[in-house]
């Protein structure tokens, strides 16, 4: 039996050596667990199990599964093989080996902007786990990366080389308290690392470049661009544009007051439809306080093009924004013309009326029918393909209209997205300036 265990141990060592030669970037959690299961079932003593874990080089390969979880899986495997007598010994061996990780005394200094470490740090942190970037043979870490290594215990401390800095080395708490490390950014960075991603600070908008699982900064593929923010900090429209315009998926990582994470994707949606109808011109209407009333209007105006709301069999009521658009198209005539309608709209809504009118015009031009979104807390709900109101489907979008330079509150974004999802619609933000910009936000789990 000893020979069998020795043979299996030798195969395990050769397997790990092969992985090192190929520079595998994946943590060996599954492989380690699998090897441990085979070795435990093949061995008949706690000594064999301990030797197995030693040959697996726990510390160097750095599996992501905590020792307790690995121990439990090995224990389950042993119980299934009816060798429960080895459970305690195996668990003790795993814990002992985890505690006997190699020394972590690696020289690293913080100069106020970045943390610099030597070649050993580059080999351990960049080559195997994607931290930092190599520069002239050494490793340059962003402070957020160094903070995470300190939090994990992979670095014990960082020397303070700032002008006027103290002599005492910096630990996790000391580095987190500096102005260059934000706790909000740290929580987002840590959460993504915990999810199995390698990521690097972008240096732009204080965001992160997140690589697909199994890949890192040495690869060209990017999975996400993430902007971390607090639920109490407004997000500018420019930041949302930055997230929406990249080749990778743009994600807003919001940290709430209990340090829980909500991820929202941002992109530019295609807003278009097929609702185009030729309507009669010169339809007379009467301007009331904040709407327009039509008497005996053409049937197609509502039945086909979905303008207004019928009032009995004889009247059709138009909103101010609908009436103004139809007046611009020559379909509607009222006393005082379009200018009077615009004046009334601004008196009722202020500058908001002009923005909503521009968005309404853009939607109708794109073949999309906008109707009031008041019941959903939005400016409009929209229908892309309307042939007849008797065969009307569900609205696809909820549209909120904001100024082009609007600052978004993360709480409002979360509320809008949750509401839209609850009624099976997509939330879209319209930012009119010159042309109308469209931005869509939805929840995502990286």
Catalytic residues: 383, 394, 425
Residue pair 111/143 in contact by the 8 Å Cβ criterion: no
Indicate the pairing of strand 224-230 with strand 249-255. parallel
User: Cα(316)–Cα(245) distance, rounded to whole angstroms?
Assistant: 43
- Tokens 């090995």 sit at which residue? 74
Q: How many helices (H) and strands (E) does the chain have?
A: 17, 22
User: What count of other Cβ atoms lies within 10 Å of the Cβ of residue 76?
Assistant: 12
Residue-by-residue DSSP string for 429-440:
EEEEESEEEEEE
Residue pair 430/359 in contact by the 8 Å Cβ criterion: yes
Q: And the tokens for 275?
A: 């609702």
User: Cα(376)–Cα(414) distance, rounded to whole angstroms?
Assistant: 14
Residue pair 336/372 in contact by the 8 Å Cβ criterion: no
Give the Å distances, CA to CA, from 7 to 11, 15, 16, 30, 154.
Answer: 6, 12, 15, 21, 33
Checking 176-181 for CB contacts under 8 A at 24+ apart, the result is 176/147, 178/143, 180/112, 180/113, 180/143, 181/143, 181/144, 181/147
Helix, strand, or coil here: 188? helix
User: What count of other Cβ atoms lies within 10 Å of the Cβ of residue 360?
Assistant: 23
Phi, psi torsion values for 225, nearest 5 degrees? -115, 120
For 312-324, b/e burial (b = at least 16 CB within 10 A) is eeeebbbbbbbbb
Helix, strand, or coil here: 376? helix
User: Cα(433)–Cα(446) distance, rounded to whole angstroms?
Assistant: 33
Residue pair 63/70 in contact by the 8 Å Cβ criterion: yes
User: Cα(234)–Cα(410) distance, rounded to whole angstroms?
Assistant: 6
């Amino acid at each position: 039996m000893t020979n069998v265990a020795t043979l299996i141990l030798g195969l395990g060592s050769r397997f790990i050596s092969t992985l090192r030669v190929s520079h595998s970037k994946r943590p060996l959690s599954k492989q380690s667990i699998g090897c441990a299961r085979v070795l435990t079932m093949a061995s008949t003593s706690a000594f064999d199990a301990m030797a197995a874990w030693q040959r697996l080089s726990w510390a160097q390969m750095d599996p992501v599964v905590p020792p307790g979880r690995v121990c439990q899986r090995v224990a389950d495997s042993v119980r299934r093989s009816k060798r429960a007598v080895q459970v305690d010994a195996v668990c003790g061996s795993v814990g002992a080996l985890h505690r006997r990780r190699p020394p972590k005394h690696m020289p690293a200094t913080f100069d106020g902007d970045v943390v610099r470490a030597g070649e050993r740090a580059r080999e351990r942190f960049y080559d195997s786990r994607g931290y930092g970037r190599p520069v002239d043979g050494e490793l340059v870490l962003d402070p957020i990366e160094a903070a995470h290594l300190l939090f994990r215990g992979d670095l014990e401390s960082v020397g303070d080389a700032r002008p006027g800095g103290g002599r005492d080395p910096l630990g996790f708490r000391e580095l987190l308290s500096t102005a260059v490390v934000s706790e909000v950014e740290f929580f987002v960075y840590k959460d993504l690392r915990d999810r199995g991603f390698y990521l690097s600070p972008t240096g732009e908008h204080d965001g992160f470049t997140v690589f697909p699982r199994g890949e890192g900064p040495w690869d060209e593929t990017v999975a996400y661009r993430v902007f971390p923010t607090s639920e109490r900090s407004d997000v500018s429209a420019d930041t949302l544009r930055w997230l929406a315009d990249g080749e990778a998926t743009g994600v807003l990582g919001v940290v709430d007051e209990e340090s829980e994470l909500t991820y929202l994707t941002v992109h530019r949606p295609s807003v278009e439809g097929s609702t185009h109808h030729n309507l009669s011109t010169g339809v007379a209407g009467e301007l009331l306080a904040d709407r327009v009333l039509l008497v005996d209007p053409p049937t197609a105006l509502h039945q086909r093009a979905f303008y207004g709301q019928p009032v009995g069999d004889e009247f059709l009521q138009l909103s101010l924004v609908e009436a103004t658009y139809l007046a611009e198209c020559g379909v509607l005539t009222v006393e005082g013309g379009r200018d009077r309608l615009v004046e009334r709209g601004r008196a009722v809504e202020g500058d908001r009326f002009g923005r909503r009118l521009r968005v309404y015009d853009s939607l109708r031009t794109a073949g999309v029918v906008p109707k009031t979104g008041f019941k959903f807390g939005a400016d409009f709900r929209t229908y892309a393909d309307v042939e007849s109101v008797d065969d009307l489907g569900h609205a696809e979008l909820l549209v909120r209209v904001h100024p082009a330079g609007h600052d978004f509150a993360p709480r409002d974004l979360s509320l809008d997205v949750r509401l839209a999802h609850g009624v099976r619609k997509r939330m879209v933000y319209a930012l009119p300036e010159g042309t109308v910009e469209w931005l869509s936000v939805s929840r995502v789990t990286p």
